[in-house]
Amino acid sequence: MQIAAGEDRSATPIAYPAMNATALFPDPYILILTGLGVLIALVAWLPLALRRLPLSLPIVCIAIGAGIFLLPGVTLRPLPWRYPEITERFTELIVIIALMGAGLKIDRLFGVRRWACTWRLIGVTMPLSILAIAMLAGWALGLPIAIALLLAASLAPTDPVLAADVQVGPPRTGEEDEVRFGLTSEAGVNDGAAFPFVHLAVMLAAATASGTPWLVEWLTYRVAWEIVGGVVAGWLVGRAFGWVTFHIQAETKLARTGDGLIALSATFVSYGLTEAIHVYGFLAVFVTALTFRHAHREHDLHHEMHTIIEQVERLVMMILLILFGGALVSGLLAAVTWIDAAVAAVILLVIRPLCGWIGLLGYPADAGEKWTLAFFGIRGVGTIYYLAYGLNHMEVADAGRLWGLVGLVVFFSILLHGLTVTPIMRSLDRWHGRDPDAAGAPPGLQGPAHD
């Protein structure tokens, strides 16, 4: 509308653009930024708030995720079988970051006798667990041998991500008793040690369909080459990063900067290079972390590296668990039956504790320590990764049922171990004469963020 010269403008109404219903809601990008900010604040604050409560950070994250995905305006359904590649790659990323963190914070020097507890849990407990779970899955669920083995290999390893509350403290803090060391080192080694059995399941499935031989290839390539190659490659990468960081005589020596991001670099380089030559990257990353730590054990940079890795690990872990909470309310457990629930309970309450106890027979530790080591076989992100990897490399008719069972085991494990970790670990520390409320209390008591 044109306004003539000299006309009173005050009487002319101003035309505003029409307001539609969608304009009342913020842009999704703004919502994501806001949510990410809140999540980062929770990463820093929640461990402190939960440090004396019988409640773990993963339980809170799952509850948050369930609440978000139950909102009327949220239409995304974060079910793993709808996003198989993303599920595999995202969980893979979280596991390798956690493995670097686990290796960096172990103070105990590597040795056959010093790590006797670890070898028992890896060499006896895990194979027994795989055998028992596979037999249970075949008998109770009627699964073919290849699928039962995939399920067992996915559910047998202790998770390095969700086991932070039962692991050792930051480097050079002295917060490393036998239980915490055993569970930390087990979680670091068994992710690589379980991979041959995942590959065995994939090869058995292919052999069933085509009749191709598999035993020689599995023993020579998937077991011998990929395990030995992973250890050697991880050691070489760790030596290289240790030399560049601590031993180059120059003003540009990385140790002078105090920048803990070098640990993240070592994680990605180790995993990328070892996977490129087809060896076990999970095992290589843990060996890289141990070797890197050994390059200069008393340097303050180790604490900075551990801090950076821990913060990144908690952030990506919380994102995954929020999505897991969303999956639980979006139909992840829809195919689960009462038989599946009983199988999940047996895996957590019978198979792991019993196999753990058998593996520790004759080990010089008291009964309380042995039962704690046997009980805290936490299942989590590694389990999700292995199942995603297996299902992406073999044909499975009823993948939804497997995802439901694995999701139920992970959920049960998070609830069971999350609600019991604080009272059990506090009792264990009191029994050993340690004050769980002291300033230097172990990480499982005060949360992974305490200094």
Cα angle: 328, vertex 334, 339; to 5 degrees? 110
Helices 399-431 and 381-393: angle between axes, nearest 10 degrees:
160
Q: What are phi and psi of 245, to 5 degrees?
A: -80, -40
Q: How far apart, in whole angstroms, are the C-alpha atoms of residue 286 and residue 192?
A: 9
What are the tokens at 291? 């070797």
Per-residue pLDDT of the chain (451 residues; tens, 9 = 90+): 455 555 555 555 555 555 554 455 567 778 778 877 887 787 777 776 666 666 677 888 899 899 989 988 788 899 999 999 999 999 999 999 999 998 988 888 888 888 999 999 999 999 999 999 999 999 999 999 999 999 999 999 988 887 766 777 677 666 677 888 888 889 889 877 899 999 999 999 988 877 788 889 999 999 999 999 999 999 999 999 988 888 776 555 565 556 778 899 999 999 999 999 999 999 999 999 999 988 887 777 878 888 889 889 988 998 999 999 999 999 999 999 999 999 999 999 999 999 999 999 988 888 888 888 899 888 889 999 999 999 999 988 888 999 999 999 999 999 988 888 878 877 777 776 665 555 444 444 333 333 3
Residue 409 to residue 401: CA distance in whole angstroms: 12
Q: How far apart are CA 448 and CA 369, in angstroms?
A: 21
CATH class of 80-446: mainly alpha
C-alpha R_g of the chain: 25
Residue 392: predicted pLDDT: 95
The pLDDT value given to residue 329: 95
Residue pair 289/266 in contact by the 8 Å Cβ criterion: yes
User: What pLDDT score does 368 carry?
Assistant: 83
Residues ≥6 apart with Cβ < 8 Å to 126: 156, 157, 190, 193, 194, 355
Chain length of the chain:
451
Q: How many CA atoms are closer than 13 Å to the CA of 189, on its beta-carbon side?
A: 22
Instruction: Compute, in degrees rounded to 10, the torsion defined by CA atoms 74, 331, 313, 223.
Output: -150
Integer Cα distance of 154 and 379 in angstroms: 9
Q: What is the model's pLDDT at position 440? A: 47
| CB neighbourhood size of 231 (10 A) | 18
Selection from 315, 124, 280, 252 nearest residue 188 by Cα = 280
Give the model's pLDDT for residue 218.
Answer: 92
